Structure 1
């Protein structure tokens, strides 16, 4: 899109340079040549040059004016070439300098060739009618005629090839831009799917897993421990309501939550209390009152929910430790358990990768340390931003 204006600017500059050269080497010499004469040759030449100059000035300055018709200017140029050839006994130089005019102000090569031939004929006739028939003027006029036509045809071909190449490049550019836009759209859709998958895994999937575990426990203790079953049923109800709220958030039917209205420490305390209530695990928590913005709070909450869900489903632990503190690198969250442990690089599933991706987007980092029989340590760090 930017190549075309640059090309037009270059053509405009070349035309200005040629206009200056034409005035200097085309109009100037006839005026100077008759400067010392006192007969009608002087005033006749000056009159022709003046009319031609005014016509050219109108064409250049007022291109949309009815008076600025290129055909009218070219007609005056042909007459001026013949007239000056008569008065100055030849006009080959003026003719040769004026050759580009016939190609600049005609729409087709055929028209340019017609005007060039007409100008050559006018120059030759003027030379023949003049007092001194100069063979040199005739020869140079014919050479100028042949050279002007050949050079004009070659330049026209070059310009057409350039225009065709510009059209091809413009088409390729449009296709590339379309393909790039489609790729960006696909990338955006993929990123959105990944984000939704992460949100669903960290919220709805974990909630449904808790509901299943609680329902199984309530069913097993329904006859032997009805009080415990009633508590578990209340937890199921509460978890189901929370999942419903999270589902509405994901589809945009409710405002986002995720700890936006409360501090990170109270939100984590609420999650840990629910864990103790639902599972009976022993929880040791050291939660500093760290001030952070909403994206950081949400990332830390999701990381905690995912880690505790893994403890419930896989670790077989009896004790969980959670430490939230302000460290040299920012906010630090450490979650440990005394469960069976695992080999981190062999872990399969969305959880750990989802946590790491969420933290990485905010400039944070995640380290998971574990081995079979030695429990698990999840350590997350996030840079601190001002509270929103």
Structure 2
């Protein structure tokens, strides 16, 4: 079903209507008045009166809610009768009819009613012209009648063409609106999926760097405690205490991950003191000596957490894979940031062949803060891990 023009159609913009109303007054209403000025008689009286009545009726048609309007169909009825009456009084009316054609399309609301109103006005104008010529016993002059009929045909064709253009424009607008809404929904879904993926990756990284490392430590300590239970009860007791402490830390980390505890991830104190406690625990659990040079570096909590997680992951890799005899850790300020270097004298590995979750997680964590991770290693020559992070607000 085709769409009928409504009062808010694009071709009925208020400013254009006002200009058209001015043109209608100047070209349609004023000429009959100007042409009879100075001529006495009933023709002058009726011409001026009918023209003034049509102008007042048009002025009463308003679309402003605060002003009670004259219904458009009342004005159109008055316009049809007025054009017929002027044609009857003056014997012409083609110009007024042609200038008035847009009214039928602007005020009726549908092509069918517009054509019907335009046809009625053309019939009234032609009838008035013919009747006037009969009363005045004038020879039939076809000019006004022909131009009225031409104006009627042109008005029908142009009006239908404009309605068709508007319908096509509205259809394009609806289609574009539908496509835009579909694109918006796809974009929102993509953002949702991306957010969910990033959150899963973050949780996986946190679990790997905290709970998984803690459970791995508990397993290693439990195996060591079980094997040395009879031979070295004192060492076993210390290992059991370490197991208890690691389990408590894991429980605290689990509460942070599920949102049941404040998300701090760090014990109070400087990053140097935090790393010192981590290294002492590592030495106590593994027996490996650690040489540490830890400078007091001022950094924000996200940077402290990143440095701690990099240290924990590197120590866990040394414990599980390196077979090292000694470890060195250096924390030092760098231009615009801080650097953490962890080295061991273990068996090393081929960095290009390593695609483990731990190294990739460290790289992503540092990249989120504007830092980078560099790993240097070769088989038989140990491993060097260098984490660099900015502390000057660039992150």
Look up the match of 1:93: 95
Q: Give the corresponding residue for 1:107.
A: 109
Per-residue deviation at 1:356?
Answer: 0.8
Task: Give the Cα–Cα distance (whole angstroms) in 1 for the partners of residues 65 and 108 of structure 2.
Answer: 14
Residue aligning to 1:80: 82
Matched residue count: 381
Counterparts in 2 of 1:23 and 1:305: CA distance versus 1, 3 Å? farther
SS in 1 for 2:343: strand
After superposition, the C-alpha distances for 1:29-54 in whole angstroms (9 at most, x for unaligned) are 33333334343433433332332223
Q: 1:207-231: CA deviations, max 9, x gaps?
A: 1111111111111211111111111
Correspondence for 1:30: 32
Give distance in 2, aligned partners of 1:165 and 1:231. Answer: 78
- 1:245–1:121 CA distance, 2 compared to 1 (3 A): same
Q: Distance in 2 between matches of 1:236 and 1:16?
A: 87
**Local SS of the residue matching 2:370:** coil
**Is 1:290–2:292 an aligned residue pair?**
no
Deviations along 1:236-287, whole A, 9 cap, x unmatched? 1100110011011111111112227432221111111111111122112222
Alpha-carbon separation, structure 1, partners of 2:11 and 2:252: 61
Q: Does 1:194 align with 2:196?
A: no
CA contact (8 A) 2:272 2:297 kept: yes
Native 8 Å contact 1:74 1:115 kept in 2 = yes
Greater Cα offset, 318-327 or 15-24: 15-24
Alignment of 1:359-370 (within 5 A): 359-370=366-377
Instruction: Extract unaligned runs of 5+ from structure 2.
Output: 1-7
Asked whether the equivalents of residues 89 and 134 of structure 1 are also in contact (C-alpha less than 8 Å), the reply is no
Deviating runs (4+, > 6 A) in structure 1?
A: none
The more displaced of 315-324 and 140-149 is 315-324
Please state if 1:157 is matched with 2:164: yes
1:7 deviates by 7.5
> 1:154 deviation in Å?
2.0
Native 8 Å contact 1:81 1:91 kept in 2: yes
| Alpha-carbon distance, 1:129 to partner | 2.8
The verdict on how the C-alpha distance between 1:112 and 1:261 changes in structure 2, with shifts beyond 3 A counting, is farther
For 1:362 and 1:155, how far apart are their aligned partners in 2? 60
**Cα separation, 1, equivalents of 2:355 and 2:340:** 23
Is this contact kept in 2: 1:260–1:297, CA < 8 A? no
How far does residue 348 in structure 1 lie from its aligned partner after superposition? 2.5
Pick aligned residue for 1:221 from 228, 233, 241? 228
Q: d(CA) in 2 for partners of 1:334 and 1:59?
A: 84
Q: TM-score, normalised by structure 2?
A: 0.90
The secondary structure found in structure 1 opposite 2:342 is strand
Change in CA separation of 1:33 and 1:374 when aligned onto 2, cut-off 3 Å: farther
CA contact 1:367–1:380 (8 Å) conserved in 2: yes
Provide the rounded CA distance (Å) in 2 between the counterparts of 1:108 and 1:260: 77
Among 172, 175, 187, the alignment partner of 2:182 is: 175
| Residue equivalent to 2:4 | none
Alpha-carbon distance between aligned partners in 1 of 2:24 and 2:225, rounded to the nearest angstrom: 102
Judged with a 3 Å threshold, the aligned counterparts in structure 2 of structure 1 residues 188 and 91 are, in CA distance, closer, same or farther, namely: same
Indicate the RMSD between aligned Cα atoms, in angstroms.
2.2
Distance 1:113 1:221, change over 3 A: same
On the 8 A contact 1:113/1:149 being kept in 2, the answer is yes
Select which of 119, 123, 126 maps to 2:125.
123
How far apart, CA to CA, are the structure 1 residues paired with 2:272 and 2:166?
72
In structure 2, relative to structure 1, the CA distance for the partners of 1:258 and 1:41 (3 Å cut) is same
CA distance in 2, matches of 1:158, 1:323: 76
Query: Map of 1:1-388 to 2, 5 A cutoff?
Result: 8=10, 11-60=13-62, 62=64, 67-130=69-132, 131=136, 134-259=141-266, 261-385=268-392
Deviates more, 1:253-262 or 1:275-284: 253-262
In 2: Cα distance, 1:9 partner to 1:344 partner? 70
